[in-house]
Structure 1
Amino acid sequence: MFGTSGIRGAVGRDVTAELALSVGRAVASDGYDRVVVGRDVRESGVVLLDALTAGLRECGADVLEIGVASTPTIARAVGRFEADAGVVVTASHNPATDNGIKLWTPSGKAFGPDRRAAITERVQSDDYDLQPWDGLGSRHRREGAIDHHATALREAVSIDDPPSVVVDVGNGAGGVTARVLHDLGCEVKTLNGQQDGSFPGRPSEPNEETLETLATVLESTDAAVGIAHDGDADRMMAVDETGTFVPKDVLLALFARNAADDGDRVAAPVDTSLAVDDALAEVGASLTRTRVGDVYVAERATDDDVVFGGEPSGAWIWPDETLCPDGPLAACKLVELVADRGPLSELAASVETYPIRRNSVEVADKDAVMDRVREAVADRYDDVDTLDGVRVDAGDGWFLVRKSGTQPLVRITAEARDEGRTEQLYADATEIVTDAT
């Protein structure tokens, strides 16, 4: 039922009011008595949130409703309002046809595997603690969550010479970014600032292909940095002052290197580029790899020596601030970095990158294929990590074979510090997968 980023799928097929009602019932029945709820800008969220709230109250939980806000705004509100859990109705970067449900703890961390499994078990077994008429939970509107988030963002950075910034909100819920950067003294222009769950300005996911307009604006103005969010603003990507999209691994390396000092660690998934390892080595820090998914990065970020966590997908976590991926916080941190260290294009160029190959192979039984891949790799290589898929460290490079969480695919990634070695590792991994199918 849950993927690595919550429940997500097509409205009316995978995600229905019936499912939302069941999740609400399960959350309340599992002992979460006070629950913060909110949604992103999708109109389907109105129906789903009503059903979710009904399920929560039907099993005795009191509901604190935030309304339409970014996911990090709602996740931060769980602790602020002394709630036991939070629920956001959102499909994040997915298209308008989709919606979903994501669950949060008071620390700002998403529900981990054990908590998700408990909710799934209740839904699948129809195991709910339905209350009589006098045991139903209450429902109250709570104001101030966005203001509180904005205050926290302003206090998290210090910008002495505020630059000009363009913020592409993507018709989503991340308008707090433009508001805070303006408050910090930046000259701010916005793109796609009107909330609209059909995402008419561009697709919800911010990437090099969807940010052409932002890149054009940066290229033709004197703005120092372009910021882009997805629909619920848990993600943040960037365009430099020349109109060039900042590669995802490079952005991760910049954030990691800036956050870490000698002896610190940074958490990132198993498919993270060697560019991040090398950037951290420059400051005496190191990378600790996690399973793919921001919940796993957040879990590792609770370790005392982990000062930052990130996924190249655009999820960035500063554990001293919150364990939720916070796109507006990342935007403020990046603007602070540019104001302090100079042009983003030069910062990005200071990160050495390496050739990387990625491909997906369609298979009939991905679990069986992965079992055979593990056996083959164990026989041929010494340094093998099976934390998430099968990752081989070859010293001068690596490859990863990992099954897709949602499709009948096995994904292959290979990287080394020179192209020839990358191609060799990619060919080796592809041969192993081919033999296993």
Structure 2
Amino acid sequence: MFGTSGIRGRIGDEVTCDLALAVGRALASEGYDRVVVGRDARESGRMLADAAVSGVRECGADAIRIGEAATPTVARSVGWRDADAGLMLTASHNPAPDNGLKLWNPSGQAFDERQRETIAARVREENYDLRPWDDLGEVEAWDGATERHAAVLERSAASGSCSIVVDAGNGVGQVTAEALRRLGHDVRTLNDRPDGSFPVRPSEPTAENCRALADFVAATDADLGIAHDGDADRTRAVTESGEFVSGDCLLALFAREAATPGDEVAVPVDTSLAVADVLERQGASVSRTRVGDVYVAERATDSGVAFGGEPSGAWIWPDDTLCPDGPLAACRLAEMVARRGSLDRLVGEVESYPLRRGRVETDEKAAAMARVRERVRTEYDDVNALDGVRVETGDGWFLVRASGTQPLVRVTAEAREEGRTDRLFAAARSVVEEAIRAVERGGVAGNAERAN
């Protein structure tokens, strides 16, 4: 029921009011007595929020409705309001027909795997503590969440006088512009009217989707551009010349600012060598996690981890909050540019290595991955099977990982020299293709998988 980023799917299909009602009931029945409920700009979020609040109250817990707000605002509000859990109705960077539910702890950390499974089990079993008419929970509205977030951000970064363009993507990240203005920056906005149909650009802030932002920044005197997804948990950036900054490069810049000698930075297994190289030069190191910001956040709870990030745009400063806070990332990036100068120059200080990505389609991805793991462990010395199979070769790496949602296996390779990247990629893809052929011939791993 839950993926690593909560529940997501099409409205009227995977995501319904019945589901939102059930999750609300499960939260209250599990003992979460005060629940913060918020939503992004999608119209379907209104009815889902109504249903979730009804479920919470029906099982005796109180609901605090904060209305339309960014996901990090909702996550932080759990602690601000002395609540026990937060429930955000959002599909994040997914397209307009989708919506979803994500659950938060008072620390700002998303529900972990054990917590998610506990809620899912209650929903599957319809195991709810329904209360009589005189023991229902109460509901209150709080319209101060976004204001509180802006005030906190004002204290979380140094002031400056940069010229910044913020593209909210018709999402709910308007708190970013407000916080940057409070910090003294000159701010212009694009697509800042919340509209869950995302009429101007798709919600996900990729280089292609942010072309208008890049062109606008390059054509003006702006020092940088900021782009969010629909719920503002992700932040991406554009330099003053209009270059869209890669996720790995932005991760390296944030990590370099946050880490001191001896520190670790939590990153997923598909992160570029460039991040490790930047940190090594200042006596810090990477700590690799499974792919997904929820796993980065979990690792960021370890002592010695100064920062956590995922190249997709999720950035976590554990001393501030354990949720990916896009507006906080925007303020920290503006502070960096105000203090260090040109973002183009900062980006130029981070090495960019040749990287190749590909995929191989198969309906037997689990069985194929079992064969891949067996094969690479016999051929390579440095193998990490934390999430898929990552192989380190000294001068590069490759990762073979089954898609969590599609019938395919993804292959990624990177090295410091292009020819070496090509050879690593070819070797990894060959291992995958041979594994799939063996499974399709009815090999041992394929038979085991079918037996299960």
TM-score calculated relative to the size of structure 2: 0.95
Q: Which residue of 1 aligns with 2:358?
A: 359
Between the aligned partners of 1:215 and 1:250, the Cα distance in structure 2 is 17
Unpaired runs of 5+ in structure 1? Answer: none
Between the aligned partners of 1:369 and 1:259, the Cα distance in structure 2 is 39
- Does 1:296 find its partner at 2:295? yes
Q: What displacement does 1:126 show?
A: 1.4
Between the aligned partners of 1:364 and 1:191, the Cα distance in structure 2 is 42
Once the two structures are overlaid, the 10-residue window that deviates more, 225-234 or 378-387, is 378-387
Taking every aligned residue pair, what percent have the same amino acid on both sides? 63
Once the two structures are overlaid, the 10-residue window that deviates more, 110-119 or 137-146, is 137-146
Q: What displacement does 1:183 show?
A: 1.3
Q: What displacement does 1:131 show?
A: 1.2
Match of 2:369, SS?
helix
Match of 2:63, SS?
strand
Q: What displacement does 1:17 show?
A: 0.7
Between the aligned partners of 2:124 and 2:432, the Cα distance in structure 1 is 34
Between the aligned partners of 1:219 and 1:102, the Cα distance in structure 2 is 36
Q: Which structure 2 residues correspond to residues 136-285 of structure 1 after superposition, within 5 A?
A: 136-159=136-159, 161-285=160-284
Between the aligned partners of 1:232 and 1:302, the Cα distance in structure 2 is 24
Q: What displacement does 1:31 show?
A: 1.2
Write the letter of the residue equivalent to 2:337.
V
* RMSD between aligned residues: 0.8
- Does 1:373 find its partner at 2:378? no
Q: What displacement does 1:216 show?
A: 0.9
Write the letter of the residue equivalent to 1:297.
V
Q: Which structure 2 residues correspond to residues 328-347 of structure 1 after superposition, within 5 A?
A: 328-347=327-346
Write the letter of the residue equivalent to 2:107.
S
Q: What displacement does 1:171 show?
A: 0.6
Q: Which residue of 1 aligns with 2:55?
A: 55
Match of 2:52, SS?
helix
Deviations 1:22-78 (A, max 9, x none): 111111111111100100000000111111111111111110111100000010000
Q: Which residue of 2 aligns with 1:86?
A: 86
Between the aligned partners of 2:434 and 2:212, the Cα distance in structure 1 is 44
Between the aligned partners of 1:143 and 1:47, the Cα distance in structure 2 is 19
Q: Which residue of 2 aligns with 1:111?
A: 111
Between the aligned partners of 1:255 and 1:22, the Cα distance in structure 2 is 39
Q: What displacement does 1:134 show?
A: 1.6
Between the aligned partners of 2:372 and 2:281, the Cα distance in structure 1 is 35
Q: What displacement does 1:189 show?
A: 0.5
Between the aligned partners of 2:412 and 2:112, the Cα distance in structure 1 is 26
Match of 2:405, SS?
coil
Q: Which residue of 2 aligns with 1:431?
A: 430
Q: What displacement does 1:105 show?
A: 0.3
Q: What displacement does 1:362 show?
A: 1.1
Between the aligned partners of 2:384 and 2:131, the Cα distance in structure 1 is 47
Q: What displacement does 1:282 show?
A: 1.7
Between the aligned partners of 1:316 and 1:220, the Cα distance in structure 2 is 28
Deviations 1:296-353 (A, max 9, x none): 1011111111110000000000001100000000000000000000100100010001
Between the aligned partners of 2:375 and 2:182, the Cα distance in structure 1 is 57
Deviations 1:367-413 (A, max 9, x none): 11111111111111111111111111111111111111111111111
Q: Which structure 2 residues correspond to residues 21-100 of structure 1 after superposition, within 5 A?
A: 21-100=21-100
Between the aligned partners of 1:382 and 1:282, the Cα distance in structure 2 is 25
Between the aligned partners of 1:278 and 1:379, the Cα distance in structure 2 is 28
Q: Which residue of 2 aligns with 1:322?
A: 321
Unpaired runs of 5+ in structure 2? Answer: 437-452
Between the aligned partners of 1:216 and 1:262, the Cα distance in structure 2 is 38
Q: Which residue of 2 aligns with 1:313?
A: 312
Could you list the runs of 4 or more consecutive aligned residues of structure 1 that deviate by over 4 angstroms after TM superposition? none
What number of residue pairs does the alignment pair up? 436
Between the aligned partners of 2:402 and 2:192, the Cα distance in structure 1 is 37
Between the aligned partners of 1:355 and 1:4, the Cα distance in structure 2 is 29
Once the two structures are overlaid, the 10-residue window that deviates more, 125-134 or 103-112, is 125-134
Between the aligned partners of 2:153 and 2:258, the Cα distance in structure 1 is 16
